[in-house]
Chains A and B, each alone.
Chain A
Amino acid sequence: MKRILIIIGKIIVRLLHLMKRNAGNLPGIILWHLSGHKAVSMFKVDCPIIAVTGTNGKTSVTNCIAQLFEGSGKKIITNREGNNLDTGICSLLLRHCDMKGRVNADYLILETDESHVPVVYSQLKLDTLVVLNFFRDQLDRNGEMETLIQKINGFCKTFSGNLILNGDDPNTARLGKANPANRNVKYFHAEPYAFATEKAFEASEGRFCPFCGEALDYEYYQYSHIGKFICKKCGFGSYEPYITAENIDLEKPVFTADGHEYSPKLNSIYNVYNMTAVAAAAKLYNIDQKVTDSVISTYTVNNGRMEKFMLGDRDTTLNLAKNPVGANMTLRVMNEMKGEKELLFVLNDNVADGLDVSWIWDINFSVFERVTRVVTSGTRAYDIAVRIKNSGYPAEKIVVCPDLDKSVEELAVTPGKKFVIANYTAVQPTRAALKRFIAGNGGNSQ
């Protein structure tokens, strides 16, 4: 039966290929139905599998870990395009397996959607699970966050492989206690950076100890609910870090981990956490220090994540924000930047955005520093304008342009620095609009 399914799947992949169609998800969806919802159970994988999950940063960390092994001369298979559900992983393996379903590689590095971790890895043996963070995201699809954590926690109860956890996120760190017999739990941690605060700065969840219900005590918050916490009642939060990021200086940017200095390209605390997770994986798999250096110091993304453009001579930075944490982080980077700037916020409410846009009310706009004007765009251009207005920002400095091209033109009318925030389905159209403007008016994109 499995053999037949593999053959059917391969034929579908071939057909889609001949039709010049993207085979990213469809073959997996068909096999999911044919296999009684066990789309990945038919594959035979003998090499170690490393999975990366969490709300934010999965794609970056997966790509970096993949580069660690590639740079070490290993044959890897990875879902670079981010098809991270069981059906997407099935499609990926279909493309790389032989007719018997055997997958031939040294390592599989798989970005995996939070809700699909138990599904996929009850069918495939997992060597290492990296969990970055849990934030409110797309509640519509996943149900509520606690349910999601419970699901992964359930998986961790019987998992005895390596567990690399963000020790500064209580939602993540709690997974380390799911299986007391697992000796392979490793926490990564970061010392406070210049903008760490004593009080929570943004709306955040996870303020109570998941084990005893006591309010958690924070020594400092880095962003949202990420920071050094402890439960004074039951001790949750006291652990020996496997790896610690210290001496974080985002102006340069530079940080040290395990006594080694790294100079990443991206200057957010966000990225420091992601790269510390990468360094933890490198340590675990004994990756050559030179390879790790080169991955961490060259990693950058040109897909709307802190992407630079010049609109004529206007220095412009675009960043994706698909949830309040991402948006708050971006505002933080914008505020930490010297001088005056203008903001364009593009907000869509398409299906992939989760339809609802109320998460914008969890963004803390009252912290605006030297923001001289705001332009809003997208299918919910007015919603974000109303949101920003109610934070106390002067309404007369807000310009609403639902049409994306018009909004970019409007942004470029005045001189000076520009910042652009776009949510999930808005980011690619926004990049395209910026590039159209540049094509017509000069400037450049990286």
Chain B
Amino acid sequence: MKILKILHMYADMLDLYGDSGNMEILEYRCRMRGIECETDHYSVDSEMPDFLSYDLIYIGGGADLEQQHIAADLLRCRAGIEKAYRDGVFLFLICGGYQLMGKYYRDADGNDIPGLGLFGYHTIAPESRKKRCIGNIVIRTEITGKAVDIVGFENHGGQTMGVKTPFGKVLYGNGNCSKSEAEGYFEKNVIATYLHGPCLAKNPEISDYMISYCLNRSADPPVELQPLDDSLEKKCRKVMLDRLINKYRQ
């Protein structure tokens, strides 16, 4: 049986709005199916990990100050992360993690913090620190082949521009820029998003997309994930969808 290997980067510094919960959820969903799951941690100045040996690399979001601290360290890891990404390792990136994989992040004072440049987008923070996109957010994503409406919580100042393949379409909330139509960034082995909450809490399809992707990187014949009882999660999402969206449709 394959062991799913996760590298959780900067868990001690980037953990806003329950972001570490995403790892707890992935581990839980693996455990319930008898899939062994191993999580390693990496933080500033730790020994350079072998990025290629992982199935999934995860980076959460953090306060602006912590983010600057991390940007420099992340550049040190650039070659390793890029190689892993090209090799098909899954990148799961929230908020700050999302921004730092782009070309650059321009802060409120106009200083550019270079990103890893893996993807073509960039992020600009508004001059006023008070202008933030904050609140519940609903997006419709079709990454699993079916339309799924997923619910999260966003809180970001940065406006991310130049995304050609978003994670989803905004049904409620802001998304990549204030009042924008698109949210996040997607490739078959990349989910980058502003959704906190944590993102996976009431959206089991997204967790399973990633687990399934990771298991099938090397599996032949392909592995089908055993279904779990997600009635609580789905009910939880429905309550929020009814509150945020459906009332406007009626």
Interface residues of A (CB under 8 A from B): 139-140, 143-146, 203, 207, 213, 355-356, 358-362, 382-383, 385-387, 389-392, 395, 398, 400, 402
Q: List 11 A-B contacts (CB under 8 A).
A: A139-B16, A144-B65, A146-B66, A203-B20, A355-B135, A355-B136, A358-B197, A385-B236, A386-B232, A387-B21, A392-B28
Given contacts A145-B63, A361-B201, A385-B232, whether A390 and B239 have CB atoms under 8 Å apart is: no
Is B55's beta carbon under 8 Å from chain A? no
B198 touching A144 by the CB < 8 A rule? no
Chain B contacts for A140, CB-based, 8 A: 134, 155
* Distance to closest chain B CB from A274 (angstroms): 27
* Distance to closest chain B CB from A86 (angstroms): 18
* Distance to closest chain B CB from A140 (angstroms): 6
Given contacts A389-B232, A395-B232, A400-B232, whether A358 and B18 have CB atoms under 8 Å apart is: yes
B196 touching A144 by the CB < 8 A rule? no
A358 touching B202 by the CB < 8 A rule? no
B24 touching A390 by the CB < 8 A rule? yes
Is B183's beta carbon under 8 Å from chain A? no
Chain A contacts for B119, CB-based, 8 A: none
How many residues on B have C-beta within 8 angstroms of the other chain's C-beta atoms? 33
Chain A contacts for B50, CB-based, 8 A: none
* Distance to closest chain A CB from B134 (angstroms): 6
For B31-45 the 0/1 string (1 means CB < 8 A from A) is 100000000000000
Chain B contacts for A144, CB-based, 8 A: 63-65
* Distance to closest chain A CB from B107 (angstroms): 14
Q: How many A-B residue pairs have CB under 8 A?
A: 79
A382 to B235, CA, bound (A): 7
Chain B contacts for A389, CB-based, 8 A: 232
Given contacts A361-B201, A382-B235, A390-B24, whether A395 and B65 have CB atoms under 8 Å apart is: no
Chain A contacts for B15, CB-based, 8 A: 203, 362
* Residue among B17, B28, B196, B235 having the largest count of chain A Cβ atoms under 10 Å: B17
Pick the contact of B198 from A203, A207, A361, A392 — CB < 8 Å?
A361
Chain B contacts for A383, CB-based, 8 A: 201-202, 236
Pick the contact of A387 from B16, B63, B201 — CB < 8 Å?
B201
Contacts beyond the supplied A382-B235, A389-B232: 13 A-B pairs with Cβ under 8 Å: A139-B16, A144-B64, A144-B65, A207-B12, A358-B153, A361-B18, A361-B198, A382-B232, A383-B201, A383-B202, A386-B202, A391-B24, A400-B232
* Distance to closest chain A CB from B96 (angstroms): 12
A358 touching B21 by the CB < 8 A rule? yes
Is B233's beta carbon under 8 Å from chain A? yes
Chain B contacts for A360, CB-based, 8 A: 18
* Residue among A140, A360, A402 having the largest count of chain B Cβ atoms under 10 Å: A140
* Distance to closest chain A CB from B1 (angstroms): 20
- Find the A residue at minimum CB distance from B230: A386
Pick the contact of B129 from A143, A203, A207, A398 — CB < 8 Å?
A143
Pick the contact of A398 from B25, B28, B232 — CB < 8 Å?
B232
* Distance to closest chain B CB from A34 (angstroms): 23
* Distance to closest chain A CB from B60 (angstroms): 11
A355 to B18, CA, bound (A): 14
- Find the B residue at minimum CB distance from A389: B232
